[in-house]
């Protein structure tokens, strides 16, 4: 699977998790920054996946983008928004319930 045409998406997902977390650690935990972080993660995943798709299936860049990026942009942005909204909501509730502490630098 990892060496197949869609393996790049799996590698991209791992890199995206790191980048998303890094962005949120360095900024405020609010909806805007969570949406930016999740969108950046989505873009990284799509880039990694499309590169591997293109080269393993010997596609043109236009074909790879048409197969591996364009169909997923709208749904990816919807998922990025929902993940951001749910994540920030859950985080605020955990802080209020004192299950999670809030650092002074990051304001919910």
Q: Is the residue at 71 inside a domain?
A: yes
Q: Is the residue at 106 inside a domain?
A: no
Is the pTM higher than 0.95? The answer reads no
Contact, 38 vs 86, CB < 8 A?
no
pLDDT in tens, 11-52: 999 999 999 999 999 998 899 999 999 999 999 999 999 999
Structural domain including 20 reads: 7-96
- Interhelix angle for 73-96 vs 31-56, to 10°? 140
- pLDDT greater than 90 at residue 103: no
Say what percent of the chain tops pLDDT 70. Answer: 95
Q: Is the residue at 78 inside a domain?
A: yes
- Structural domain count of the chain: 1
Q: Is the residue at 29 inside a domain?
A: yes
**Number of helical (H) and strand (E) elements in the chain, helices listed first:** 4, 0
Q: Is the residue at 2 inside a domain?
A: no
């Amino acid at each position: 699977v990892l060496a197949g045409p869609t393996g790049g998406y799996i590698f991209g997902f791992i890199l995206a998790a790191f980048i998303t977390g890094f962005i949120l650690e360095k900024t405020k935990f609010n909806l805007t920054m969570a949406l930016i972080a999740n969108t950046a993660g989505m873009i990284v995943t799509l880039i990694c996946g499309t590169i591997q798709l293109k080269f393993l299936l010997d596609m043109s860049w236009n074909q790879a983008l048409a197969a591996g990026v364009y169909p997923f942009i709208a749904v990816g942005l919807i998922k990025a928004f929902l993940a951001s909204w749910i994540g920030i909501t859950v985080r605020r509730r955990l802080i209020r319930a004192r299950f999670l502490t809030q650092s002074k630098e990051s304001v919910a």
